[in-house]
Amino acid sequence: AVYIFYGARDSNFKRLRISGQEYQSKFAFSAFGYSIAGNVDLDGNGTPDFSVGSYLSKHVVIFRTRPQMKIKSEIKFYEQGRLRNSLILEKNATDFRIQMCTNFNIKSNKNVNVRHQGEIVIWAKLIIDEDEKRFFIGSSSTVSMTFVFQQGVTRTCKDFTITRRTPPEDLIHDQNEVSLTPVLWYNATSNKTVGTLRISKVNGGEPLVVPEGSSYTDFCSYCPYPIMFEPQSSEISFRRDCKRRGEAGNFPVCKPVLRVTLKGRFGEDRNPSRRVENGTKLVFGDTPWLALQVAVKNENQTAYFTVIKISWKWENAPTLTVPHLTVGNSQCNVDRENFTATCDLDRVRSYLGKDQEKSLEFLFNMNDV
């Protein structure tokens, strides 16, 4: 038996067992008299191949190998017309420019550099600000492209302008970083061709290996087999004056000033419309539903991981049933035994910037009281 190691689409290496009885060839291939020859570059692509021959059948199967290609990407940023390795955006940034470069190197299975022949095409996709959805290239947060390498060229670059499409009044205050994730792939090795060779003798002299069928030439011997590309995400930070608690850096810890405002409504259905004013006295039976809105405004530096916690109970009527709380969002953890609720102020962003305001509404069912 002959064991062949080959690559799969997911770049995992698998093992294939070939035996004389199981191998389905266009010609008889006897298991008697196996011989293996290797370390010879039969097709001139710089990568040694190997062959398995059968003495009894007078046939040989040649296993041709491709060189391996490592693909890398690099993202640089334009700042004042010059390329930089990093970039810090202003709080009111509306656009910025980047350069995405792709390069590769090809090596034989002996770890020797191989110069590629012909044209190499690498497909690419760039994903921008995937979580926050603030910045786009054109109208999309994902752009697809190709990098074309002529013979002898191993590096090429493309420039992009990235623009912010959030409302103008929604200035960016110490928000989460902008992510840039490149994805690269190469599929010129998708053609799978099994070529057969015939051994003949020229005028009764030395043996000559002759390919049978035009399919033999379909095998792209110089097309490298890609090694899996692991995307490396880049992040762009926003300029800021302070840092969140526990974060490393030289900035002082942010000192937000939070102002809380309470508003109430009551009525006979789940969407009450009658407002609760200062001094309003509610009567049992007239208030089947009570809605409480808690608004939080930050008047100073960024507030990170802002949480609202409320509790409700009767102070002077311990025998009364405590009203049931209905929360219409998923950022709250309600403890119905102790009648408390802890909620993230914003389920998308983990911060509240200066002069920003967020609110949550809590709806109480008073019917069972």
Q: Which pLDDT belongs to residue 9? A: 47
Residue 30 has pLDDT above 90, yes or no: no
Output phi, psi for 307, to 5 deg.
-125, 140
Q: Please report, rounded to a whole number, the percentage of residues in the chain having pLDDT higher than 70.
A: 76
Q: Which pLDDT belongs to residue 24? A: 53
Domain locations along the chain? 2-65+191-220, 68-188+227-238, 258-365
End-to-end CA distance of the chain: 82
Q: Tokens standing for 347?
A: 């389920």
Residue 110 has pLDDT above 80, yes or no: no
Q: Which pLDDT belongs to residue 328? A: 61
The helix or strand, by DSSP H or E, that contains position 152, with its residue range, turns out to be: none
Q: Write the single-letter amino acid at 207.
A: P
The residue with greater pLDDT, 54 or 327, is 54
Q: Which pLDDT belongs to residue 128? A: 92
Residue 213 has pLDDT above 80, yes or no: no
Residue 276 has pLDDT above 50, yes or no: yes
Residue 260 has pLDDT above 90, yes or no: yes
Please provide the average confidence, as pLDDT, over all residues in the chain.
77
Q: What is the pLDDT of residues 215-232, one digit of tens each?
A: 444 566 777 776 656 667
The residue with greater pLDDT, 44 or 87, is 87
- Computed on alpha carbons and rounded to an integer, the radius of gyration of the chain in Å comes to 34
Least confident of 49-58, 63-72, 110-119, 169-178: 169-178
Residue 98 has pLDDT above 80, yes or no: yes
**Is there a common fold for 68-188+227-238 and 258-365?**
yes
Contact 256, 352 (CB under 8 A): yes
CATH topology for the 68-188+227-238 domain? Immunoglobulin-like (2.60.40)
Residue 27 has pLDDT above 50, yes or no: yes
Tell me the pLDDT band of 167, cut-offs 50, 70 and 90: low
Q: Which pLDDT belongs to residue 257? A: 94
Residue 206 has pLDDT above 50, yes or no: yes
Q: Which pLDDT belongs to residue 96? A: 92
Tell me the pLDDT band of 194, cut-offs 50, 70 and 90: very low
Contact 78, 99 (CB under 8 A): yes
Q: Which pLDDT belongs to residue 3? A: 46
Contact 113, 106 (CB under 8 A): yes
Q: Which pLDDT belongs to residue 183? A: 86
Residue 81 has pLDDT above 60, yes or no: yes
Q: Which pLDDT belongs to residue 127? A: 92
Q: What is the pLDDT of residues 118-162, one digit of tens each?
A: 788 888 889 998 888 889 998 899 999 999 999 889 899 999 999
Decide yes or no: CATH 3.30.70 for domain 258-365.
Answer: no
